[in-house]
Structure 1
Amino acid sequence: MGNSKSKKNSKVSSIVKFIIVVSLIGLYSYTGAVGFKSIFGYKVAPFTETIKKGLDLQGGVSVLEEIQADEVDEATMERTIEMLSMRVNPDGVKETSVQQEGENRIRIEIPGEFDAEKVLESIGKTGKLEFRDPDGNVILSGDEVTDASAYLDQYSSPTISLEFSAEGTTKFAEATEKFIGQAIGIYMDDELLTNPTVNSTITDGKAIITGSDTLEEASRKAGIIKSGALPVTLKAVEYKTVGATLGASALPLSIKAGIIGILIVFIFMIAYYRMPGLMANIALLLYVFLVLGTFSTIEATLTLSGIAGFLLTVGMAVDANVLIFERIKEELKLGKTIKNAVDTGFSRALSSILDSNITTIIAAIVLYSLGSGSVKGFALTLMIGIVLSIFTALTITRLLLNLAINIGLIKSSSHFGVRRG
């Protein structure tokens, strides 16, 4: 009697958990796809609006810079391109393009940005970066700054963090001790970038600068400080805004193709694996929106190559579920119970899933490290997708399967498409 009551309570608990899990996945997916006009006075935009799109999908700014020198060696050109890339894409998540054009020109393309003057302001600072005391004397140069970044402090105030080299630390310590209560200006090309006041002596080689109006402004200043002076002088010979290079229909057609492909996968999983296939589809739905949510969170820029990488990872996520289900079917054919077959199937499929995905992640890391532009975007998409596909296959699919078994949605081998003789 007591055992029967315990089983009934366990079943009720599993039903409640199953409903909660499926409801949360459904709510998250709905929010990502449609959004909400108002939740407690705030609008929640769908991922189609929050994910940034590349130059090939939405257009942006194109700037052509010319090096003001008779001859430019290869090393100088590479260094200039590297530092310009750092200025226009300090976080490495935007699909910016900085490429040599001809012998002494560099083409810079920034998707989603249509203010050419603002871009020129960011990349056009080409002279010396200097820290000057209140009398205008140079304290230290940009070469003695090893790092600069922007963030929001505990009070949500935009803040710039600086780190100095050993020599720069000594110079800055002496200056901050001497000029407490006074301002030390940071100049680029003799133009004042920021003029922070010294509040205390800084001896550890780390300083913070407050006073920026927005995080975007702080990030721009930090990017200029970090990249320092370019090795050459540049002159903008052309700058313009451009439309989407693949036309306005490229994005909707890509989304349509992706939806059709994912629906075909969903239909296959249900037709071949029955009820377990439905559980896998619920996990795959969560996977799709987790990937899109991650793109939105890190402010990555999505291009057609990124969409291709995303759809590829959907296939890899399905592949992980297929491996698991085939292992489960093998165990069922050996006469094991549904519960034991599921546990053993996941355990035996784990090594195969990890081996195949880890090797792909290694390849993606190499592509991201050595590639540029669309190649880098494809690699980033691939890495994010693989990590999340492993998570959803090994945790969400397993959770849903076990709950479905506990509540009786899956109670015989025929639900996996296995007929016992």
Structure 2
Amino acid sequence: MLIVVIFVGLLYALPNIYGEDPAVQITGARGVAASEATLDQVRNVLEKDNIASKSIALENGAILARFKDPDVQLRAREALMAELGDKYVVALNLAPATPHWLSILGAEPMKLGLDLRGGVHFLMEVDMDTALGKLQEQTMDTLRSELREKGIPYATIRKLENNGVEVRFRDDAARDQAISFMTPRQRDLVLSANGANTLKATLTDARLSEAREYAVQQNITILRNRVNQLGVAEPLVQRQGADRIVVELPGIQDTARAKEILGATATLEFRLVNTNADATAAASGRVPGDSEVKYTRDGQPIVLYKRVILTGDHITDSTSSTDEYNQPQVNISLDSAGGTAMSNFTKDSIGKPMATLFVEYKDSGKKDASGRAVLVKQEEVINVANIQSRLGNSFRITGIDNPNEARQLSLLLRAGALIAPIQIVEERTIGPTLGQQNITQGLEACLWGLMASIVFMVVWYRKFGLIASTALLANLVLIVGVMSLLPGATLTMPGIAGIVLTLAVAVDANVLINERIKEELKNGRTIQQAIHEGYKGAFSSIVDANLTTLITAVILYAVGTGSIKGFAITTAIGVATSMFTAIVGTRAIVNLLYGGKRINKLSI
């Protein structure tokens, strides 16, 4: 059993020896995919500029080119960016150099944190003005619906500062009737008379606070889903302060690529087309008050009603496929509230055209007075279709240009629409050289600690010290093997500290066993009895000592974040493996050397 366990541990620890290759990853921007033609283009660019590559491969719609060192990697990136243009994202990356036969067995190197591998760090701020602006729009729609339901006539409804809404009535009687009708029904609104014939509605402080909290928490969840679905290994997404989010993406060296992943705040709006308005006249400025002009990708104007039937907030699932004419489509599933809203609207609108508006917030490249990035709202009508029947919780969108765009759209919708746009207020790129320096220092500390323990054990306990040192080396191999096997484990600098600490205290168990054996020999036991009693007597003490450490590590993992979790994981794994090697491992070697033999003197 011991041989099998150590062999498996060694096998899964091996990939960490091979390290990583500096690489350039080429992926298509929205609607474009990397193909064999792109692969040939990449090869030609590198050959033309005399840039030698270790390998170039096309996998899962992305091209990965490996190079011998970071200098060549940077030259390749510059050359490829100049040649490929805006249609492709050329990102610096680090690719594991694991041999193919190990990859087949599922053996991969340990996932390294930002401080060891390098990567990008973002501090993002949620745009609360937009989040509360959406809430203000919802308040206006609610008031309109309530007044229509009761049959109370009103003249105008408009926005006020501080997220308030003003409704103007024909007379005071209608206003007072509206206040008395809506006050018990709208608990989140403070309704009051505001001058002659007008009503002022403001959101309560509790509702505003709840909306702010929801905007941050929902954006955190959506960002986590997005980076996970787009294949970023071991990202860190956590809250900082009232309205900020920290995002760390290990291994990614290109901030533009990271921004594309995080900044794609895509959502959909379903609106009815105003067929009574002339689109050409509307494009030149003559737009009805209840409508606005939007454009297709080809630049064709379409007049849409301002009222939004449904937004992407209600989308629970989204997949891409092809329709009966072999054209790309996106299948949408809604939650119960969205399904009800869509059903109620479409039952009265059969035969009318409904447009699907794709909304995206992008970084304009400009900064405002406070130095924050200015986001630009880009809208595009991607589909107009007649409502042929009453729609429910699921339907499909057609009219998309190509399958890749359908896949990208479904991915963004499935990952969720951000409740409010996010602005990057700080960005940092940690280079792989700094990470390599941290790894080197960590390894040196680990090796010096290991050497000190081995020297002490061999000098003090002689042959039994040598046996304990063998167990210590096996323990290190098992820690690395288990860390490589665990899908959620990430090694950070504190994690390396956890390994060093574990190795330092791993000999404790053998010290207890060896001292107990020496004690039994002094009491006149035979050598075989002393060995047996030494292991038996020390067992309960070893378990108690390690169990308390394990409990502490579990608590640290439960309440800690980021680097604290890394320390807790390596400590917990180290405690478990050191118990195994110290008790089972050394006992097996001792039995092999002394079991069933007449021994006159013990080297201890």
Q: Could you say which TM-score interval applies, normalised by the shorter chain?
A: 0.5 to 0.7
SS in 2 for 1:50: coil
Give 1 or 2 for the bigger CA radius of gyration.
2
1:268 aligns to 2:268 (yes or no): no
Counterparts of 1:380-419 in structure 2 under 5 Å?
380-406=569-595, 411-416=599-604
Bigger fraction of residues in helix? 1
Pick closer, same or farther for the CA change 1:412–1:22 going to 2, 3 Å: farther
Equivalent position of 2:116 in the other structure:
57
SS in 2 for 1:351: helix
Asked if structure 2 preserves the Cα contact closer than 8 Å seen for 1:87 and 1:224, the reply is: no
SS in 1 for 2:128: coil
Asked if structure 2 preserves the Cα contact closer than 8 Å seen for 1:84 and 1:98, the reply is: no
Equivalent position of 1:114 in the other structure:
253
Asked if structure 2 preserves the Cα contact closer than 8 Å seen for 1:284 and 1:318, the reply is: yes
Question: What is the CA-CA distance between 1:259 and the residue it aligns to?
Answer: 0.5
Asked if structure 1 preserves the Cα contact closer than 8 Å seen for 2:454 and 2:469, the reply is: yes
Structure 1 vs Structure 2 CA RMSD:
4.8
Pick closer, same or farther for the CA change 1:83–1:33 going to 2, 3 Å: closer
Identity %: 37
Equivalent position of 2:439 in the other structure:
251
Asked if structure 1 preserves the Cα contact closer than 8 Å seen for 2:314 and 2:335, the reply is: no
1:315 aligns to 2:522 (yes or no): no
Equivalent position of 1:100 in the other structure:
240
1:374 aligns to 2:547 (yes or no): no
Deviates more, 1:395-404 or 1:332-341: 332-341
Asked if structure 1 preserves the Cα contact closer than 8 Å seen for 2:253 and 2:431, the reply is: no
Pick closer, same or farther for the CA change 1:256–1:330 going to 2, 3 Å: same
1:75 aligns to 2:75 (yes or no): no
Q: Distance in 1 between matches of 2:111 and 2:565?
A: 15
Asked if structure 1 preserves the Cα contact closer than 8 Å seen for 2:527 and 2:602, the reply is: no
Pick closer, same or farther for the CA change 1:143–1:240 going to 2, 3 Å: same
Q: Distance in 2 between matches of 1:93 and 1:346?
A: 43
Counterparts of 1:215-254 in structure 2 under 5 Å?
225=414, 228-236=416-424, 239=427, 241-243=429-431, 248-254=436-442
Equivalent position of 2:535 in the other structure:
346
Pick closer, same or farther for the CA change 1:294–1:22 going to 2, 3 Å: closer
Q: Distance in 2 between matches of 1:264 and 1:341?
A: 28
**Cα deviations by residue, 1:265-316 (Å, 9 ceiling, x for unpaired):** 0111111111111111111111101111122222533221111011111123
Q: Distance in 2 between matches of 1:348 and 1:357?
A: 16
Q: Distance in 2 between matches of 1:277 and 1:29?
A: 27
Counterparts of 1:8-87 in structure 2 under 5 Å?
31=14, 42=101, 50-70=109-129, 73=209, 75-76=213-214, 77-78=216-217, 80-81=219-220, 84-85=223-224, 87=226
SS in 1 for 2:248: strand
TM superposition score normalised by structure 1: 0.62
Equivalent position of 1:14 in the other structure:
none
Asked if structure 2 preserves the Cα contact closer than 8 Å seen for 1:29 and 1:289, the reply is: no
Higher RCO (C-alpha 8 Å, min separation 6): 1
Question: What is the CA-CA distance between 1:26 and the residue it aligns to?
Answer: 11
**Cα deviations by residue, 1:385-412 (Å, 9 ceiling, x for unpaired):** 111111111211111111111386x934
Pick closer, same or farther for the CA change 1:121–1:21 going to 2, 3 Å: closer
Asked if structure 2 preserves the Cα contact closer than 8 Å seen for 1:56 and 1:245, the reply is: no
Q: Distance in 1 between matches of 2:334 and 2:579?
A: 41
Asked if structure 1 preserves the Cα contact closer than 8 Å seen for 2:113 and 2:491, the reply is: yes
Q: Distance in 2 between matches of 1:288 and 1:262?
A: 9
Q: Distance in 1 between matches of 2:334 and 2:583?
A: 46
Counterparts of 1:164-175 in structure 2 under 5 Å?
none
Question: What is the CA-CA distance between 1:223 and the residue it aligns to?
Answer: 11
Question: What is the CA-CA distance between 1:337 and the residue it aligns to?
Answer: 2.3
Q: Which amino acid aligns with 1:75?
A: E
SS in 1 for 2:524: coil
Equivalent position of 2:473 in the other structure:
285
Counterparts of 1:352-367 in structure 2 under 5 Å?
352-367=541-556
Pick closer, same or farther for the CA change 1:121–1:365 going to 2, 3 Å: farther
Asked if structure 2 preserves the Cα contact closer than 8 Å seen for 1:95 and 1:377, the reply is: no
Deviates more, 1:50-59 or 1:345-354: 50-59
Question: What is the CA-CA distance between 1:32 and the residue it aligns to?
Answer: 6.9
1:305 aligns to 2:305 (yes or no): no
Pick closer, same or farther for the CA change 1:405–1:33 going to 2, 3 Å: farther
Equivalent position of 2:482 in the other structure:
294
Pick closer, same or farther for the CA change 1:123–1:258 going to 2, 3 Å: same
Q: Distance in 2 between matches of 1:371 and 1:92?
A: 22
Question: What is the CA-CA distance between 1:115 and the residue it aligns to?
Answer: 4.1
Equivalent residues, number: 329
Question: What is the CA-CA distance between 1:31 and the residue it aligns to?
Answer: 4.7
Q: Which amino acid aligns with 1:342?
A: I
SS in 1 for 2:253: coil
SS in 1 for 2:603: helix
TM superposition score normalised by structure 2: 0.45
Equivalent position of 2:78 in the other structure:
none
